[in-house]
Structure 1
Amino acid sequence: MARGSTRPTSRDVAQAAGVSQAAVSLVLGDKWRGRVSETTAQRVRDAARDLGYRPNLAARNLRLGHTRTVLLVVPALTTEFFAGVYTGAARIAAEHGFGLVLYPSPEGIGPARDPFASAQSALDGVIASSMAADALTALRGGDRLPLVMLDSDPEGSLGAATVNLDIADGARQVADHLLGLGHRRFLHLAADVPSWTFDVRARELATRIAAVPGTSLRTTKAPISIEGALTAATAALASPAPRPTALICDDDKLAAGAYKAVRRLGLRVPDDISVTGLDDLALATAIDPELTTVRLDAELFGERGMQALLAVLEGRAPEPGDIPVQLVVRDSTAPPNAP
């Protein structure tokens, strides 16, 4: 349809698709399910694309009383994992005509300041990743905003939905791998962060290892940094207690610090001590030997979080089930040396 410089309207799309303007609004507003057929919806989308039609979102949002804006709150902007969460969430948001604002709350503990004059008037919902509950008070304003929690206890979640990675299975995979290699003395280098996800890791490791006779497990905590892990691991490995043959780290950064501690004590990875991480960051293959770790699909995590919020906004049940994780075995683990 030749229109020169005239901008196509929803009426033009309706005429081209052979449907009503109401049907066009339903389809382009992503509210067509159960109201028009998939064939009709596709015909409308094709007509809009061919005409170069772009809906006036500002006017529509004023009519509907929604901003089509979502806030993603993460503990930090400098972590590769949370960059992946944002990428996945932003992809799904864009597909549904939503904007995604990224906002950090330091260390994942609160309270996070409201980045708007009033989050309730500026947002349609909040996705909070790895957040302590009290960090959300200012943002939600008395529970008026729909909330999806990521990496959070589903039994005590404040959110309308919770999306989790199967962290418990990741911890079991690590324990089973090391036990299968013959390790019996373990050191857990745990993240010094009050968080449900780290509690799950500690509990699952302890349960899995204790189920095998003749095993021992010590735990020492460290900040999630290479230097913090170096200090904590050095002290634990230099203690008079029997030296562990395997060091299980809550994070790949902790594992990198553990590598430095092992080498400063004149030991080798994995000849004298095996080391594992969790996340499968780029760091895992940058260190030598390459790190055995648990791969977490951060982008899928973000996608599922945004999909869950869309479901909540539309009154649907989000997709159930935790997101699977995978142990990636590399050269940092091996059978222990004979005593």
Structure 2
Amino acid sequence: MKIAICCRKGSFSDYWLTYCEENGISYKKVDAYQSDIMKQIEDCDAFMWHFSHLDYKDKVFAKQLLYSIEASGKPVFPNFKTVWHFDDKLGQKYLFESIKAPLVTSYAFYTKQEALLWANKASFPKVFKLRGGAGSTNVKLVDTRKEAVSLISRAFSRGFSAYDPLASLKDRWRDYRSGKCPFFVLLKSFFRLFIVSSAIKLLPLEKGYVYFQDFIPNNDTDTRIVVIGDKIIGERRGVRNGDFRASGSHILLPDASKVDMRCVQLAYNVSQKLGLQIGVFDFVHDKDNPLLVEVSYGTDPDYTECEGYWNEKLQFTSAPINLPKMIIESFIQNSSN
């Protein structure tokens, strides 16, 4: 097998290239941004690309390219089942509801009138989300009906930028005060209030819909479960002081004995049912009941802090974790079957 790998610095591809070199696997570096990408991969048997939801170019065509290569008969990572709903909370709402997965109760509206009718009857607080964004970006706690009406009005008028520099600065300031953010990162975030990069300017506005979820109180952690084939990684993540979000907090709690095994089982079951190559699931607890918040494919290439992994029988193995290695090994194994 010869694998075409689209390289992006800081992504899984850094590890995939090393893995291929060390294990004698034939590979070819390709550039997905070139118009002749289909010709580039003609002599390859498979294609792998860890694309970014934060790059406007990737948002324009990455999924379409992957679908097209998969349609030609070549195995791809990520494939259609794994990635069509990536960075799309609206899509995930319908997906989870279709298989009756225990999703946090969610509300989607596509007209201002329907959204306002709902807001007038709803209880608060609620959580407002844009369909895209990671690390808790584009997520706000809405305490009052007045705040909800303001967000709804904006959603059906000028819309929202995919990047909120003020919210980002507030998060970096909170992280800096807790010792989790270097000063230069804080400074960089401050300057983004005044200097917006051309790449961010090219991201489309989010408008024409509005999306809320029920607020689930009394969660000082959430649970992150990663399923790759028959291996399952899990850890909890702490909520920042004065915040309600764990995603993006960088407070990692990898003690496997503290992970709710119901989350492990649920994540594995959903991943199998949906046929995911990788599923990165976030859970919160409503009293004692685990609820899904969202799923992703693109995650940090780390998890080295985790203590090991469970198998499909929920048996735990203590072992160093190398997530990109697990991905490429699973991909090669399944592509060869």
TM interval, short-chain normalised: 0.3 to 0.5
Structure with the bigger percentage of helix: 1
**TM-score (structure 2 length as normaliser):** 0.34
Structure with the bigger percentage of strand: 2
Rg larger in structure:
1
